[in-house]
């Protein structure tokens, strides 16, 4: 497995990993690749970005336009301050020019510099981008990139040899399937968190690994906290009001009241998830986990674990949770997809649910087999879930869907912990089923906003949104 835990968990901004984070990274990489080959941007005279497929159809609602411009300016998702985004974009549009990577200023306007190909899809993936750098001698440099989900990008034409040269060093516990990972555990008498830790230590020191995991949890925790106190209306035109803060106050006020229902405590978990995804929808700082559209599930379950499960060593438990979650995400990405544009929301919310369920079982000292069982349950009950965001925005049904996914993850973990790990359907089987289901799913249900809720609610009852 050639992925790291920090490939699955990336600190960035909303509202979308595939439509915001990926395009920002791709735009910047396009220029960096050019500089790497030619030394500088002195010969640049202009730039265009062509967006295809799902990026073109729902790109404006997912802030793809903003992300591309910021990437061309040299900004990165992990470093940019979300509060400065609108000012940077407004200044560039007012001036009618962009400073490419902060090095060379060229004329640019969003209306002409961004080209939306809504009727076309590039062959490599539904999320395709073609960048064109115009040079002073009249020639152009073009390159195609794909945003393949979770903030990952792939450049068209990358050769197997180049990939091999860029491959990380061999890890002590390689795995491409859950069956392989379970076999490694049995052979060496190790749990999944320990094996993932050992694999990561090939790339970094233990101190660096722990600091990175702690940083991920810190950003997740802060995102929940900010979302639980922030009210107002989400951007994008649907006039969706943020609800997590109000519902959170009601939840706190109801404690101790006679008619407070026993299950209301579980509602807190769904509010954690909704708080994160409201932050994401507003373009705030989030952790891609494994995507932005599903970014609320793992933080919500992780906070539930840290605060309500009373772990004896919460810091170690949180780290084990994240390492185990990452293992499940790696398997799903390698053997199926975490891209809503490729397999629908089963690859986003379904995978996040499985990751959270597995992480919770690991944190609660479950066996490798129980971890596998929890992850399988998490995906199995999201199979076939479409990605049909209303108005092309990561709001409806995405925000509530994260709340439901978090509750399902806890349920899946509970079921797995009550068993001995023996079950009928393997995680590998359900991942392959997800892949095939996604391949069979019509494109209108895969982050294009051409089917499902996206057309029925907008056309029939847009005002009610």
Average pLDDT estimate for 182-210 = 98
Residues 255 and 392 in one domain: yes
Residues 282 and 365 in one domain: yes
Residues 151 and 190 in one domain: no
Residues 150 and 198 in one domain: no
Q: How confident is the model at residue 265 (pLDDT cuts 50, 70, 90)?
A: low
**Which CATH number do you get for residue 222?**
1.10.4100
Residue 74: per-residue pLDDT: 98
Residue 318 is assigned to a structural domain of this protein: yes
Residue 261: per-residue pLDDT: 58
Residues 191 and 308 in one domain: yes
Residues 443 and 303 in one domain: yes
- Expressed in percent and rounded to 5, the helix, strand and coil fractions of the chain are 55, 10, 35
pLDDT at 262 over 70: no
Residue 463 is assigned to a structural domain of this protein: no
Rounded mean pLDDT of the chain?
93
Separation between Cα atoms, residue 170 and residue 174, nearest integer Å: 8
Residues 73 and 131 in one domain: yes
Domain that holds residue 99: 16-155
Residue 243 is assigned to a structural domain of this protein: yes
**Which CATH number do you get for residue 78?**
3.30.1330.90
Residue 463: per-residue pLDDT: 40
Residue 147: per-residue pLDDT: 96
Separation between Cα atoms, residue 114 and residue 197, nearest integer Å: 43
pLDDT at 71 over 50: yes
Q: How many structural domains does the chain have?
A: 2
pLDDT at 160 over 90: no
Contact 132, 47 (CB under 8 A): yes
Residue 141: per-residue pLDDT: 97
Instruction: Report the percent of the chain where pLDDT is more than 70.
Output: 94
pLDDT at 263 over 70: no
Q: Which of 114-118, 162-166, 280-284, 428-432 has the lowest mean pLDDT?
A: 162-166
User: DSSP letters along 400-433, please?
Assistant: HHHHHHHHHHHHHHHHHHTS-S--SS-HHHHHHH
Residue 264: per-residue pLDDT: 63
Residues 350 and 403 in one domain: yes
Residue 316 is assigned to a structural domain of this protein: yes
Q: What stretch of H or E contains 11?
A: strand 10-13
Residue 220 is assigned to a structural domain of this protein: yes
Average pLDDT estimate for 161-165 = 44
Of 88, 121, 155, the one marking the end of a domain is 155
Contact 236, 391 (CB under 8 A): yes
Residues 183 and 129 in one domain: no
Residue 90 is assigned to a structural domain of this protein: yes
Residue 408: per-residue pLDDT: 97
pLDDT at 2 over 90: no
Residues 187 and 148 in one domain: no
Residues 145 and 275 in one domain: no
Residue 254: per-residue pLDDT: 78
pLDDT at 164 over 50: no
Residue 304: per-residue pLDDT: 96
- Dihedral angle computed from the Cα positions of residues 145, 79, 339 and 127, in that order, rounded to the nearest 10 degrees: -30
Residues 23 and 54 in one domain: yes
Of 155, 170, 198, the one marking the end of a domain is 155
Residue 425: per-residue pLDDT: 96
Residue 115: per-residue pLDDT: 98
Residue 169 is assigned to a structural domain of this protein: no
pLDDT at 54 over 50: yes
Give tens-digit pLDDT for 330-356: 999 999 999 999 999 999 999 999 999
Q: How confident is the model at residue 256 (pLDDT cuts 50, 70, 90)?
A: low
Residue 258: per-residue pLDDT: 56
Q: How confident is the model at residue 462 (pLDDT cuts 50, 70, 90)?
A: very low
Average pLDDT estimate for 173-178 = 97
Residue 148 is assigned to a structural domain of this protein: yes
Q: How confident is the model at residue 186 (pLDDT cuts 50, 70, 90)?
A: very high
User: DSSP letters along 285-308, please?
Assistant: EEEESS-STTTTHHHHHHHHHHHH
Residue 248: per-residue pLDDT: 93
């Amino acid at each position: 497995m050639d992925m790291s835990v920090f490939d699955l968990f990336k600190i960035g901004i909303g509202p979308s990993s595939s439509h915001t984070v990926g395009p920002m990274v791709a735009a910047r990489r396009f220029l960096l690749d050019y500089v790497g080959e030619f030394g500088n941007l002195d010969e640049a005279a202009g730039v265009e970005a062509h967006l295809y497929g799902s990026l073109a159809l729902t790109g404006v609602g997912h802030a793809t336009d903003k992300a591309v411009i910021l990437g061309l300016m040299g900004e990165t998702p992990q470093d940019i301050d979300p509060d400065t985004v609108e000012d940077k974009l407004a200044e560039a549009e007012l001036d009618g020019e962009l400073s490419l990577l902060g090095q060379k200023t060229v004329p640019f306007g969003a209306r002409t510099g961004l080209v939306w190909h809504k009727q076309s899809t590039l062959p490599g993936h539904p999320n395709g981008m073609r960048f064109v750098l115009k040079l002073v001698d009249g020639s152009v440099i073009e390159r195609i990139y794909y945003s393949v989900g979770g903030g990952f990008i792939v450049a068209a034409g990358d050769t197997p040899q180049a990939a091999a040269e860029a491959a990380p060093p061999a890890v002590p516990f390689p795995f491409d399937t859950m069956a392989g990972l379970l076999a490694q555990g049995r052979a060496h008498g190790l749990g999944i968190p320990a094996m993932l830790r050992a694999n990561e230590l090939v790339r970094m020191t233990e101190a660096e690994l722990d600091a990175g995991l702690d940083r991920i949890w810190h950003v997740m925790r802060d995102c929940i906290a900010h979302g639980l106190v922030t009210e107002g209306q989400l951007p994008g035109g649907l006039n969706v009001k943020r609800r997590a803060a109000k519902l959170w106050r009601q939840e706190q006020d109801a404690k101790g009241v006679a008619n407070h229902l026993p299950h209301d405590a579980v509602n807190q978990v769904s509010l954690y998830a909704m708080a994160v995804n409201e932050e994401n929808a507003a373009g705030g700082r989030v952790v891609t986990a494994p995507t932005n559209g599903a970014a609320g599930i793992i933080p919500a379950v992780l906070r539930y674990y840290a605060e309500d499960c009373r772990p004896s060593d919460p810091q170690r438990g949180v780290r084990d949770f994240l390492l185990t979650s990452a293992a499940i995400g790696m398997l799903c990405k390698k053997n199926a997809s975490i891209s809503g544009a490729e397999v629908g929301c089963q690859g986003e919310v379904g995978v996040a649910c499985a990751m959270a369920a597995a992480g919770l079982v690991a944190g609660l000292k479950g066996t490798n087999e129980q971890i596998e069982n929890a992850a399988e349950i998490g995906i199995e009950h999201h199979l076939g879930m479409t990605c049909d965001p209303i108005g092309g925005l990561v709001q409806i049904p995405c925000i509530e869907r994260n709340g439901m996914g978090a509750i399902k993850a806890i349920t899946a973990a509970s079921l797995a912990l009550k068993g001995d790990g023996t079950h009928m359907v393997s995680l590998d089987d359900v991942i392959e089923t997800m892949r095939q289901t996604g391949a069979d799913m019509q494109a209108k249900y895969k982050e294009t906003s051409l089917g499902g809720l996206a057309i029925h609610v907008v056309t029939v009852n847009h005002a009610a949104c």
